[in-house]
Structure formats: C-alpha cells, structure tokens
Structure 1
C-alpha cells in the first residue's frame, strides 16, 4: 500500500469534533494508512463549532473562489486546511458561510435537523470533488464516513462519471449506526436530479431518511465496511443483496484489516 493514495471523506473527524465512533474511526483509519506510507487526504465540513484559532485553520486561496451550484443557486466555496498535530496529516475543510457558519453541527437548539441539511450534503459532496480536481490528486481509494458525506458516491458515479481523475478510484463506504429521526428536506431528490438530469438515479432518496441516504451510497460504492458493531436489519439485508466486498465490524484487528481490504480492492479487476 505504500505510495497509494486514499481520500478520506467524513462528516466528523477528531480532534476537530467530539470523539464518537464515527469521528474516531475516520481519524484512525487515515492515521494508520498514513503511518504505512500511504498518501492521505482528509476532507470534512468546516462546522461553526470548530475553533479555527486553536486548530490553526487557514484559507487556501488558490483552492477557494469557485462557486458551486446547489438547487440552481451559486454558493461560494471556501477551502481551509489544517494539520493534525504530531501526525503530519493535512485536513481540508469545505466551508460556506450560509451552510456552515452556524455554531452547531446537524441540529438546532431544539435538537431538530436543520432544514437545509440536504443542501449542505450536496454542497459538501461537490465541494470535495471539485477541490480534489483542483489538487489534481487521483485517489486509488475514496473512503466515505457518515450520512452527511453519503451523497458523494452518487455524485462520483453519475455527475462526475466522465472525470478522468476518478476513473480508477474505488469507493468504500463505512456504515455506522449514526441514525437520525424523521427525514431531510423532501426536496432532496429534486435538487440532486437538477444536477443529474435523470430521475431514476434519485429514486432511492425520494424519501430522504437515514436508511435511504445510506442505501444510495451503498448502491454506488465498490465495497462496504461495517463501521458499527450493529446496524439496522434493513441496511444489513440491503448490503447482502449487493455483489460487492464487505468487511465486517473490526474491533481488534482494525488497522491490518482495513489496509488489507484497501489493497484487495486496488488489485481487483
């Protein structure tokens, strides 16, 4: 795996957000790969709760400045970067004042999902891909963590399907028990259809609940990892119905298992 390239895309990463199973796993997967000589890049949203001064985030002018279209609106993309102390790993932050300046992550003070979480997910997916294009950095593996990042496989397979930078990239999605109640904005499928132009590609997310958003990611991935020890029976059955490699939850041999899984995907036809 030395000198291979892995792009880690996560809605949460420690130490920038509180320690959870998802934020810790995303960090440790990247850290372990990096320690073995793998070239890594980590992308996450620049949520307003992240202390920019403490973590020494700074804007990358050469990467910022483009606009992304979300639901027929031009939204400015700002890219910030920081280095995880002691690890020498760079983390790229997708930022936009409208979507990410608020001092919260997914929910308001009443614990209700933000009504624009659907657009935040679209912006994050497109922002990651456009930034990697600007970096001209072709990843061998793209590893997706968290429901907010779960539109990325769909966009890579459909909206960016002719982008040569990702032709050889294998998409891995980790499935966590990070569920939310109710649904995202029910206009999500129409907003994605605005980009894709094909209603059939958004059928899975017609009802944009947690399960369906992850099903969309699974449909458009090359492999799946169980990031949590238990996930819903619905998702488990859906994964079993796909003819793709699956890595079961790893509690002890996490480091070696992930690297072997990546390596097998890269060498597979």
Structure 2
C-alpha cells in the first residue's frame, strides 16, 4: 500500500463509540493500511454521545463554515478532528447541531429510529466530499463502512460525477449483517432527487430499509467486501448478481492479508 491514499468513511468507529462489528472493522482496516505505508483519512459523524473532552475533539475553522443544502434547507457544516493516540491516526468528524447534537447515534431511548436519519445520511455524504475537496486530497480508494455512510457512493458517482479529484477513485463498500429495523423516511427519494439525481437510480429506496440502502451503496461501488459471516439473503443475492469483485467474509484474525490482497489485485488493478 506504499503511498496509496485511502479514504475511510464510517458510521461508527472505536474508540469513539462502543465496539461492534462495524466500529471495530472501521478502526482495524485503516490501522492496517496505515501500518503498511498507506496514507489514510477517516471520516465519521460527530454524534452527541461522543465525549468531546475525553477524546479531545476540536473544530477546524478553515474547514468549517460552509452550508450544505439538504432538501432545500441550508445546514451549516462543522468539521472537528481528533487523534487516536497510540496509532497516530487522525479522525475527521462531520458535525451539525440540528442533525448530530442529540445524545444518541441512530435511535431514541425507546429504540425508535430518528425520523431525520435519511437527511443525516445525505448531510454526511455531502459533508465528507466537500471536506475532502477542501483538503484537495485525491484518494485511490474510498472504503465505506456502515449504513449511515451508504449514500456516499451514489453521491460520488451522480452528484459529484464531474469532480476531477475523484475521477480515478475506486469505491469499496463493506456490507455488514446488522443494520436497522424498519424504514427511513418515505420521502428520502424526493430529498435525493432534489439534488438532481435521477429517479431511476433510486428505485430500491421506494422502501427505504437497510437492505435497499445497501443495494444502492453496492450498485455504485466498484467492489464489495462481505464483512459479516451472515448477510441478509436478499442482499447476498443482489451482490451475487453484480459483475464486480466481491471478497467473501474472512474473520478478524485473517483479514489483513485478505483485505490487502483484495485492494491490490481486485480494486486497484
């Protein structure tokens, strides 16, 4: 991976959120690339349950201050950073008070999904791209982890399709078995179409559940990693029908060699 630039975009990441399959692999994969000579950037949302003082988050003024238009509303973009000390890895946090100040990640105390999770995902996708543009950093690979990041491939290919910074970037989506129960807001298609993205690309989102959100992600990716031992059957069948490289599930103890080989021989070929 010597000198290769990899952008990691994740819903969750340890040590900032509790450990689960997504948050752990979102940490282990960039750690592995970093230790093998690659250049990395990591982005995640700045949820309100992340302890800013403990993790020493601070705002980057030169990257903040832009407004993103979400469903015809101006939403201020705030960028914060922190470092994972023992790995010397810097993490960028996409923040907005309206979307991310609440003291939870995806659902309220009763376990009900936040009604604006769709807009949060749109804001996150656009916020990542706009910040990488400001950094003027052209990634060789963009690796997606977790459903909150799943609209990024669509936005990169359709909304930012003419952006030269990403012209040669390859998109990899890791698909996990655990998503969310229920549906996002039924108007998600309209909100994405507001950005000029064609309706025919959004057909799966007529029912905006976890499986269909991930179908959109893999449809606009160049390669797919099955990151859980058990993937929903419907998703598995959809991925099997894609004419794209797919890395089958490998356990954590064996992932480094498998992922490195997949990056080098299938994604960057």
Return the TM-score normalized by structure 1. 0.98
Offset from partner CA, 1:14-33 (integer Å, 9 cap, x none): 00000001100110000010
Residue ranges of structure 2 left out of the alignment (5+ in a row): none
Say whether 1:260 aligns with 2:261.
Answer: yes
- 1:197 to 1:41, Cα distance in 2 relative to 1, 3 A: closer
- How far apart are residue 266 of structure 1 and its match? 4.8
Please list, as runs of the form range in 1=range in 2, the aligned pairs for 1:14-33 lying within 5 A after superposition. Answer: 14-33=14-33
Name the structure 2 match of 1:213: 213
Name the structure 2 match of 1:42: 42
Name the structure 2 match of 1:107: 107
Offset from partner CA, 1:54-77 (integer Å, 9 cap, x none): 000000000000000000000000
Helix, strand or coil for the counterpart of 1:68? strand
Residue ranges of structure 1 left out of the alignment (5+ in a row): none
Name the structure 1 match of 2:165: 165
Once residues 178 and 53 of structure 1 are traced to their aligned partners in structure 2, the CA distance between those partners, rounded to angstroms, is 30
Name the structure 2 match of 1:71: 71
- How far apart are residue 267 of structure 1 and its match? 3.6
- 1:243 to 1:118, Cα distance in 2 relative to 1, 3 A: same
- How far apart are residue 206 of structure 1 and its match? 1.8
Name the structure 2 match of 1:192: 192
Return the TM-score normalized by structure 2. 0.98
CA contact (8 A) 1:5 1:40 kept: yes
Once residues 103 and 76 of structure 1 are traced to their aligned partners in structure 2, the CA distance between those partners, rounded to angstroms, is 19
- How far apart are residue 197 of structure 1 and its match? 4.2
Offset from partner CA, 1:66-119 (integer Å, 9 cap, x none): 000000000000000001011111100000000000001000011000000000
- 1:265 to 1:196, Cα distance in 2 relative to 1, 3 A: farther
Helix, strand or coil for the counterpart of 1:195? coil
CA contact (8 A) 1:47 1:102 kept: yes
Please list, as runs of the form range in 1=range in 2, the aligned pairs for 1:100-249 lying within 5 A after superposition. Answer: 100-249=100-249
Once residues 248 and 176 of structure 1 are traced to their aligned partners in structure 2, the CA distance between those partners, rounded to angstroms, is 12
Name the structure 2 match of 1:53: 53
Count of residues paired in the alignment:
268
Offset from partner CA, 1:133-164 (integer Å, 9 cap, x none): 00000000000000110000000010000000
Helix, strand or coil for the counterpart of 2:81? strand
CA contact (8 A) 2:170 2:268 kept: no
- How far apart are residue 265 of structure 1 and its match? 3.7
CA contact (8 A) 1:170 1:265 kept: no
Q: Which moved more, 1:135-144 or 1:245-254?
A: 245-254
- 1:37 to 1:144, Cα distance in 2 relative to 1, 3 A: same
Helix, strand or coil for the counterpart of 1:99? helix
CA contact (8 A) 1:146 1:178 kept: no
- 1:266 to 1:215, Cα distance in 2 relative to 1, 3 A: closer
**Alpha-carbon RMSD:** 0.8
Helix, strand or coil for the counterpart of 1:90? strand
Once residues 231 and 147 of structure 2 are traced to their aligned partners in structure 1, the CA distance between those partners, rounded to angstroms, is 13
Helix, strand or coil for the counterpart of 2:112? coil
CA contact (8 A) 1:189 1:202 kept: yes
Runs of 4+ in structure 1 over 3 Å off: none
